[in-house]
Amino acid sequence: MDNTPPVGPHNKRERKSVSFLKDLVKYALTAIIIVVPIRLWVAQPFVVNGSSMDNTFRNGQYLIVDELTYRFREPERGEVVIFRYPKEPSKYFIKRLVGLPGETVMVRDDKVTIRNDQYPDGVLLSEPYAQSRTFGNVTVTLKADEYFVMGDNRVVSSDSRVWGPLPKDDIIGRPIVRLMPLSRMGMLPGAVSTSTIIQETN
């Protein structure tokens, strides 16, 4: 004789609840396993704060930062990068790369000139992205692991003209997607053709 008690509505509800909780835990663990590594080593969100990159990036815009590309190649002139502020590493800045390792950068008379092995006499940058005058009277020779960065809105930007070169180790990555605002959503925001930057030799 079978003495197993009949399964009533109450027992069915309990079994459904247990099954639901198991599925919920399984999905949560799967999400953590997938999302956390991506968040730590591949991409992360970044919200623009301030006007130093106007009009390329405006205050409050929501970006996704590509942290993977620079593991396989060096940053290039004209690219926009997100980095830890060298003077206060808990803060993150967004600027554009102007000078590369080993080069001499000269800011003078509203112009930026680069001296390197290819252009020992200097080359004037065109900089179609710059939205305001480039104030300053600065000459810096970069070390093998240093970059010179400036904001596109030069009048208000605190950048390498003020606090010096950017160490390579402080670079986090580059903006790969602009999610917000929806009207300006797109891939590789702020990207420019490197060939448009070089203007003329002095």
Catalytic residues: 52, 95
Furthest CA-CA distance within the chain: 103
**Tokens of residue 190, six digits:** 């702020």
CB proximity list for 44: less than 8 A, separation 6 or greater: 64, 65, 67, 172, 173
Instruction: Give strand pairing partners of 138.
Output: 107
Instruction: Tell me the Ramachandran region of residue 108: left when phi exceeds 0, alpha when psi lies from -120 to 50, beta otherwise.
Output: beta
**Tokens of residue 98, six digits:** 């102007």
DSSP string, 137-191: -EEEE--TTEEEEE-SSTTT--SHHHH-PEEGGGEEEEEEEEEESGGG-EESTT-
